């Protein structure tokens, strides 16, 4: 297993939709192990393949929600959600961060319920249904695989603040990354 550098906002690989996985072999299993290792080293809740520069439609999650640990992998995910809120997100309860936007958190509107259908590394069906933090994570990671950062979901003053933050960090050019553990 290996820890990989995580791409930072501004890299076009983060805004490119993932490609479906068609080969379920040892290499895919090793790759998913690397995703878990990288996510753990970064203290993340989830990590999508394109965040480390790989175009495949796969993500991992490993988080604690309401005292229960949730850990898994979804390949070729399809997302269903409850209705998205149209109001301004709560500045405390709806804070969201991203390993590709390191050190920054913004209130982000997400559906209260989500279900992801896909397969695991062997091609067996996987269905993950959730509320709370896990539902937020499932939506966040499937957004990544659609080529969408959570910053695009921000509204109002949060969106304006995020744009200023991107410029202040110089995250407007491709090729930036960080290595968890350094």
State residue 38's pLDDT score.
98
Q: Residue 1: inside a domain, yes or no?
A: no
Q: Cβ–Cβ contacts within 10 Å for residue 137, how many?
A: 25
8-46 burial: b if 16+ Cβ within 10 Å, else e: bbbbebbeeebeebeeeeeebeebbebbbbbbebbebbb
How far is 126 from 76, CA to CA, in rounded Å? Answer: 10
Q: Residue 101: inside a domain, yes or no?
A: yes
Please give the average pLDDT of every successive group of 10 residues along the chain, which has 182 residues. Answer: 95 97 97 98 98 98 97 98 87 92 96 98 98 97 98 95 95 92 82
State residue 78's pLDDT score.
98
State residue 93's pLDDT score.
84
- Is the distance from CB of 42 to CB of 180 less than 8 angstroms? yes
How far is 117 from 77, CA to CA, in rounded Å? Answer: 5
HSE toward the beta carbon, residue 153, CA cutoff 13 A: 27
Q: Residue 61: inside a domain, yes or no?
A: yes
Q: 98 a known binding residue?
A: yes
Provide the token pair at 45. 């809740």
Q: Residue 135: inside a domain, yes or no?
A: yes
State residue 173's pLDDT score.
86
Looking at residue 28, what DSSP letter applies? H
State residue 1's pLDDT score.
79
State residue 57's pLDDT score.
98
| Total number of domains constituting the chain | 1
For residue 21, give its domain range: 6-178
State residue 181's pLDDT score.
85
How far is 24 from 72, CA to CA, in rounded Å? Answer: 16
The residues annotated as belonging to the active site are 141
Q: Residue 130: inside a domain, yes or no?
A: yes
Q: 140 a known binding residue?
A: yes
CATH number, domain of 132, equals 3.90.45.10
State residue 182's pLDDT score.
78
Q: 70 a known binding residue?
A: no
């Amino acid at each position: 297993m290996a820890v990989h550098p995580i791409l930072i906002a501004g890299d076009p690989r983060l805004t490119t939709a993932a490609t479906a996985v068609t080969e379920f072999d040892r290499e895919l299993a090793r790759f998913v192990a690397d995703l878990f290792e990288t996510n753990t080293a970064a203290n993340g809740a989830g990590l999508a393949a394109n965040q480390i520069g790989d175009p495949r439609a796969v993500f991992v999650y490993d988080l604690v929600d309401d005292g229960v640990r949730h850990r898994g992998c979804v390949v070729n995910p399809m997302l269903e959600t409850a209705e998205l809120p149209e109001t301004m997100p709560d500045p405390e309860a709806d804070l969201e961060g991203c390993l590709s936007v390191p050190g920054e958190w913004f209130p982000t509107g997400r559906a209260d319920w989500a279900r992801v259908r896909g397969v695991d590394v062997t091609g067996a069906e996987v269905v993950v249904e959730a509320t709370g933090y896990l539902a937020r994570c499932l939506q966040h990671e499937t957004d990544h695989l659609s080529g969408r950062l959570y910053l695009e979901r921000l509204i109002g003053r949060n969106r304006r603040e995020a744009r200023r933050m991107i410029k202040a960090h110089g995250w407007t050019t491709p090729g930036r990354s960080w290595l968890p553990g350094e």
